[in-house]
Amino acid sequence: MADHYEVLGVSRDATPDEIKKAYRRLARELHPDVNPGADASERFKLVTHAYDVLSDPKQRQQYDIGPQAGGFGGGAGDFGGFGDIFETFFGGGGQQGRRGPRSRRERGQDALLRVEVDLDEIIFGTHREIDVDTAVLCETCHGSCCAPGTSPVTCDICHGTGNIQRSVRSLLGNVMTSSPCGTCRGYGTIIATPCVTCQGQGRVRARRTVPVDVPAGVDTGVRLQMPGSGEVGPAGGPNGDLYLEIKVRHHDVFSRNGDDLLATIEVPMTDAILGTTTTVHALDGDVAVELKPGIQSAEVITVKDRGVTRLRGSGRGDLKIGVQVVTPTRLSGKERALIEQFAGVHKAPAPHLSQFQQGLFAKLRDRFLG
């Protein structure tokens, strides 16, 4: 099995922030929507599983003291088969026999949902009401598992201890063994009259609505944790957590680079020559953009603080608009005469070979990203 730290490419003493940054980088690279290859899909699953373990402090601690940390086939303090021997003959090394019956109440499972948001929603964040099909507390018995007016009765086999002790002859002589009671399954009590609504489980399946505040600046692959919003546990046990994995939908005009928004504006040749001021419709309202006389294709106009709100820190990114000068392809006779008149007045150099220039989109990419 692959080491989780190696999968994420971090050291074993990596901070939670370093683990999260490594996961976000790999998730963007390997996400099936971006990289549909089978190998990338399998790596994405490994990366996601590794992050799930290492981002949870309890799971990470258990993983760190697991088999890879040494010991007799287990984690620190785990003596493998020796523990089984002590448990069989001495009730769990002298502790489990005094632990008493186990509780019916258990923590509920965590849940993972994927939430799609639009690019304009993450500029300032958004609020959603999400329907979740999950386990909720039984309103009839309120988690007691019993029919109204009844309660659990003490098991008459183990007398409420949850364990059965027997004397066994061995090479060491007569020893007492302890094992969970088969009648009450170690609970020490029996549900004589189960609740008919939940069939004695203390919970039922239902659809409930969960309010979610999606913070500004999130990106595809980011997971939001909502403690206590997962399913309720058996017998009314505490709720698990709800994890929301964000996916930002594609936008036809704007794209995102970190906290910056990128777009391209088509400029008529005459406006590029003479200059003008125009209004563009940004995701959060109109923006006045000045086109200076003589502006060229692949130039980038930066509008400060009109990008995405930063997820960490303060302020916003920028709106970067790449210029594409559009040359007309069909001219009327009058238009052609005016152009010819301009050409006669403006003595431009004749066409000639010069150093190779990269394409418009490559130029824009370099200027956007660099």
CATH of 1-78 among 1.10.287.110, 3.40.50.2000, 3.40.50.300, 3.40.50.1000: 1.10.287.110
Q: Tens digit of pLDDT per residue, the chain (370 long)?
A: 568 888 899 998 899 889 888 888 888 787 666 666 667 777 888 888 888 888 888 888 878 775 443 333 333 333 333 344 344 444 444 334 446 798 999 999 999 999 999 999 999 999 999 999 999 999 999 999 999 999 999 999 999 999 988 877 766 667 778 888 888 999 999 999 999 999 999 999 999 999 999 999 999 999 999 999 999 999 999 999 999 999 999 999 999 999 999 999 999 998 999 999 999 999 999 999 999 999 999 899 999 999 999 988 789 999 999 999 998 888 888 988 888 888 778 766 666 565 555 555 566 666 656 5
Whole-prediction pTM value? 0.61
Nearest Cα to 321, choosing from 253, 245, 234, 228? 253
Tokens of 133: 């099909």
CA 101 to chain centre: 38
Residue 138 assigned to a binding site? yes
Residue 146 assigned to a binding site? no
Q: Domain locations in the chain?
A: 1-78, 255-369
DSSP string, 168-196: EEETTEEEEEEEE-TTTTTSSEE-SSB-T
Give phi and psi for 87, each to the nearest 5. Answer: -65, -40
- What CA–CA distance (Å, rounded) separates 227 from 240? 7
* DSSP annotation of 4: H
CATH code for the domain defined by 255-369 = 2.60.260.20
- What CA–CA distance (Å, rounded) separates 283 from 252? 12
DSSP string, 229-254: -SPPBGGGBPP--EEEEEEEPP-SS-
Tokens of 286: 């109109």
Residue 145 assigned to a binding site? no
Residue 195 assigned to a binding site? yes
Instruction: Tell me the helix, strand and coil percentages in the chain, rounded to 5.
Output: 25, 30, 45
